[in-house]
Structure 1
Amino acid sequence: MMVEEHWWNGDTTPRGRRDVYIRTDGQGWEVRAQIGGASGRERVQQCPSRASAAILADAWRGTHPSWRELTR
C-alpha cells in the first residue's frame, strides 16, 4: 500500500499520538487510523473510492485544529 495522505494530531507523547492515513494499492482505497504511535492500536477501513476515503479520514480526524498534514 502506498500512502497518499497522512495527518497527525501534533502530540509527541507515545500514548497521545494519533495518525490518519489514506492509502491505495492502485486499485482500492483504505483509511488507517493509528493510536499510540508505531506500537499502538490501529483501525483500517476499506473504501470504494478516493472521495469516500477522504470523507472518512476527515470524520476520523474531527475538527480539532492541532491536526497537521505531513508531506511525503
Structure 2
Amino acid sequence: MEQRKHWWNGRWGRVARKDVYLRTSGDQWYVEQRAGGADGVSHFFEFDSEDAALDMVRDVLTGEDDWCELSVRPRPR
C-alpha cells in the first residue's frame, strides 16, 4: 500500500490530534481517519476511484480545524 497524502489538524496531544491519510493499492483507494495520534483510534474507508476518496477527504477536512497537508517523505533505499 502506498501513502499518497497526509493531513494533520495542527493540534498536539492525544485528545486533540487528528490525521487523515490517502493511500492506494492497485485500483483501490483508502482513506484513514485517525483521532489521538499514533496510538489513537482509526476508521478506514475503501473506494473504487481516487475522485471518490478525495471527495471524502474534502468532507472530512471541512470544519473548524486548521488542517495542513504534510509532505510524504521518500523512504531511504
Q: TM-score by structure 2 length?
A: 0.86
> In structure 2, what is the equivalent of residue 52 of structure 1?
52
d(CA) in 1 for partners of 2:10 and 2:65? 10
Matches within 5 A, 1:61-72: 61-64=61-64, 66-72=66-72
- Confirm whether residue 13 of structure 1 aligns to residue 13 of structure 2: yes
Alpha-carbon separation, structure 2, partners of 1:12 and 1:59: 22
Unaligned runs of 5+ in 2: 73-77
Q: How many residues align?
A: 72
Question: What letter is aligned with 1:39?
Answer: D
Task: Give the superposition deviation at 1:26.
Answer: 2.5
Distance 1:48 1:63 in 2: 26
Deviations 1:7-42 (A, max 9, x none): 000001121100001100132101100000011100
Give the percent of matched residue pairs that are identical in Structure 1 and Structure 2. 33
Q: Which structure has the bigger radius of gyration?
A: 2
RMSD, aligned CA: 1.1
- TM-score, L = length of structure 1: 0.92
1:19 counterpart letter in structure 2: D
Q: Which runs of 5+ in 1 are unaligned?
A: none
